[in-house]
Amino acid sequence: MSWEDERDENERLKAERGMLRQVSPLVGEGGKFRPVPPSARTESQLELWELAPESFDFVEKWLNLLPRARQREHFRKLHLTKFKEAEHRPLRTANVWLRELLGVRLKKVFSQYKVDVSWLLSFEKGVPDFPDFIAEMQFSTKTDRTFANELSPKQEKADIEWQSLTTKFNQHVHREMAKGSVPFYLLSSNKLAEIAYQLAMTFAKAQREFADEQLAKEKAFSTEEINELMLQIYATAGCAAEAIGFPLKNWETFQRRKKLKAETVDVTLMRICDERYWLKQMRHKQKQMIEHIAIACGEVRKHYSSYISKNALIDWNVQQKKNYDFLKSMIIENVDNPEEQQDLLDMVFKSDTNPVNRRHLMMTMLNGVEAWAEDQGDVPLFLTLTAPSRYHATLFNGLDNPKWNGASPNKTHKYLNSVWVKTRALLAKRGIRFYGMRVAEPHHDATPHWHLLMFVKPEQKEEVITLFRNKALEEDGNERGAKEHRFLVEEIDPEKGSATAYIAKYIAKNVDGFAKDDERSDEDPELLLKDNAKRARAWASLWHIRQFQFYGVPSVGVWRELRRLTAGDISDEELEEMRLVADVGCFASYIKRQGGTMTKRADQAVRLHYCQTEPNKFGETRQKIDGVRLSRCLDWVKTRLKQWILKRKVNVVAELDTREQSDPNMGGFSAPRTCVSNCNPEKVNDTVEFMRIHRNEVEILREFLLARQISSRWITDYRLCRLIKGEKVDIYAGMSLSWNGRELEMI
């Protein structure tokens, strides 16, 4: 039997078992028969080929714009559904629907990502050179200014040269892109790494050649001339980086003809020669672009996947697991005392990175702000700011919004921030004092909206509402439903609850989902509040959106640094009094001693003290918090008393004495989690002795916890002994365990 006969026999057997869809190998009319294309591999592709073979290539061409196979399959099925449901001209109806959906909505997305790195793929070997017109370009970087509205002839000439350079480079990029067939958002991780390496080598080569050309002149350059030459390199590299879609740092400032510091230019030119810099930039943009495509395709909406797409949520969960594994494998070690070590994971759980601690901190501060407002006689307002309808990809009922302008969550967040900036400027001009907290959270389709808790004087309340409403409705304020939904004001009724209680729900639903187990989200009733919090954090992480922000209150950084200190660390009475206030958690008293709300940082009683770090590999230094100081003098108190370094954890098997090792009834001990023991010797001896006496109970409890799917990381000997003694044991996310000998209780 030949291989063709064997293949046909296998397909026949699969068809009999229902494993293969039967479709004619030749489809067509009027003698124009076409074979089934090799790309038709799925059930929906074969069905599409059987129903409308003449539109198969048209549909597949549009679907190939989508980055994921699951997305292509989803829209292929929707196309078939439209084809079957249409009463008149079904093929045209389905094709027009697909073209409008993918051709219009995706075009709006792609227009916002001018990423043109594919031209590098056309170079098979070696490092590509910059086009000749860039090397020959003599770009003027003189920073002389005129305060008149009209530019000087020299500046006009520079602008013309700039535009010509950008146009030529864009033309070159598009010519090179025609040689490649894979768009940026479909590139694999390996291909991104390859492009990052090529980019780094290209910019490094261009800088070396420029430097060699200048050195060949055998001329002694002054400091001013060297800075001028570095600006020329920065201008050329910046134009190239902007053309491929990754503008350099401070590039917009440079384009506005503002002077840049020489250190800033040097650090930037060193960064673009590092492949890890480019890889990070491209990975971040690719993730956002893929998620933006998912939003355009309707994969981010209620009843399907609120706030964030399913694939993006999976990626976030995988990254969280990687972060957890890294934290678990590392320890921090005191530089001055190497024997003092702590698990990095435990330190993270104790910090504000832990969502539970983060929520507790914000609620403590909010209670203090509200107590201060009551003492000052200020009244609270709860404001909700929403973007115009054209910023929303999906309607409230889950259908596509025909007015969507293709805006990403980042763009919408910038719009909301612009409204807030304009409103603050108006309030400041009128001398209106305001303070409170802002919460940014997503709608079901990932479009952000803001909730603001604002405290103002009673006599200024109506003016604040009017000014805010005017700015909120300044753009598309006449559209249907704008006055009812774009700007909402809720005057807080003390009988219903405090101001903090009003915003507590929004904090919980975006941090840790602190609520009853069966409580559900108000955005998507099908979503539990705990899942809502996880999705909201993933959404904020993907789009780099700051969820919470206090405004008009004294420095939160000083408050945190004061809580690091202990009694005896401070000799100044005023600073010691503020330390005590922070230690007991009274944020209202802290506000009072800092000069009250709306006080400028320079006028606050206590400010942060910074030190300069050592230069990194790019020669860049940064300001690092080192302590606190009084504004009235130069004296400062160090709050970071210990210097820690990261080290990978080393598992060391505990050494037991000969008597313990030879005991046949002795159970095995696991290795300590760090290379040294941070427990007191008395506690260690007590645990060993207790386990020897209650060995059977310990093993029973261990098996019981594993059966309840409690993570083995928490089942340590010390915790087991405490549970058997009747004590409560704290675990992650504010949960506690207790054991009464028969049942395990979670608190």
DSSP 338-353: TT-EEEHHHHHHHSTT
Which pair of tokens denotes residue 406? 């293709």
Which pLDDT score, from 0 to 100, does residue 385 have? 95
Contact of 644 with 347, CB cutoff 8 Å = no
Q: Which of 499-503, 694-698, 707-711 has the highest mean pLDDT?
A: 499-503
- Separation in Å, CA 425 to CA 68, 378, 386: 45, 20, 20
Catalytic residue among 277, 506, 551, 610: 506
Confidence of residue 38 (pLDDT cuts 50, 70, 90): low
- 344 pLDDT exceeds 80? yes
pLDDT tens sequence across 585-634: 899 999 999 999 999 888 999 999 999 888 888 888 888 999 998 888 87
Hey, how many other C-beta atoms are within 10 angstroms of the C-beta on 127?
A: 16
The model's pLDDT over 275-326, given as tens digits with 9 standing for 90+, comes to 999 999 999 999 999 899 889 888 898 888 899 998 899 899 989 999 999 9
Rounded Cα gap, residues 394 and 299, in angstroms: 10
The token duo for 361 is 């901190």
Query: For 315-341, how does the pLDDT look when each residue is reduced to its tens digit (9 = 90+)?
Result: 999 899 999 999 999 999 998 888 888
Token match 């190939």: residue? 64
Least confident among 26-40, 84-98, 454-468, 699-713: 26-40
Question: Which residue did the predictor score with more confidence, 672 or 553?
Answer: 553
Q: How many helices (H) and strands (E) does the chain have?
A: 28, 16
Q: Domain extents for the chain?
A: 3-110, 118-287, 355-549, 556-646, 679-746
pLDDT at 94: 87
Q: Average model confidence (pLDDT) for the chain?
A: 78
Can 502 be counted among the known catalytic residues?
yes
Mean pLDDT, to the nearest integer, of 180-203?
80
The residue with greater pLDDT, 716 or 345, is 345
**Between the CA of residue 91 and those of 88, 98, 478, what are the distances in Å?**
9, 11, 39
Residue 163 CA to its chain's centroid (Å): 34
What is the DSSP code string of 5-61?
HHHHHHHHHHHHTT-S----SEE-STT--EEPPTT--SHHHHHHHHH-GGGHHHHHH
Enter the tokens of residue 574. Answer: 């005023």
Residue 495 burial (10 A CB sphere; 0-12, 13-18, 19+): exposed
Q: What is the pLDDT of residues 535-582, one digit of tens each?
A: 999 999 999 999 999 999 999 999 999 988 887 778 888 888 888 998
Mean pLDDT across 84-88: 79
pLDDT surpasses 70 at 687: no
Report which residue type is found at 157.
K
pLDDT digits (tens, 9 = 90+) for 394-444: 988 878 888 999 999 999 999 999 999 999 999 999 999 999 999 999 999
Rounded percentage of the chain residues whose pLDDT exceeds 70: 74
Mean pLDDT of all residues in 363-379: 93
Query: Does residue 656 have a pLDDT over 50?
Result: no
Alpha carbon distance 67, 78 (integer Å): 17
pLDDT range class, residue 76, cuts 50, 70, 90: confident
Q: Average pLDDT for residues 367-378, to the nearest whole number?
A: 93
Please say if 506 is a catalytic residue. yes
pLDDT band at 703 (very low <50, low <70, confident <90, very high): low
Burial of 507 (0-12, 13-18, 19+ CB in 10 A): buried
Catalytic residue among 113, 307, 391, 502: 502
pLDDT for position 297: 80
User: Please, which pLDDT band fits residue 63 given cuts at 50, 70 and 90?
Assistant: confident
DSSP state of 489: E
High-pLDDT (> 90) share of the chain, %: 26
Is the model's pLDDT at 20 over the cut of 70?
no
- pLDDT of res. 719: 74
Supply the pLDDT for residue 690: 65
User: With 50 as the cut, is the pLDDT of residue 22 above it?
Assistant: no
pLDDT number for residue 6: 54
Q: What is the pLDDT of residue 291?
A: 93
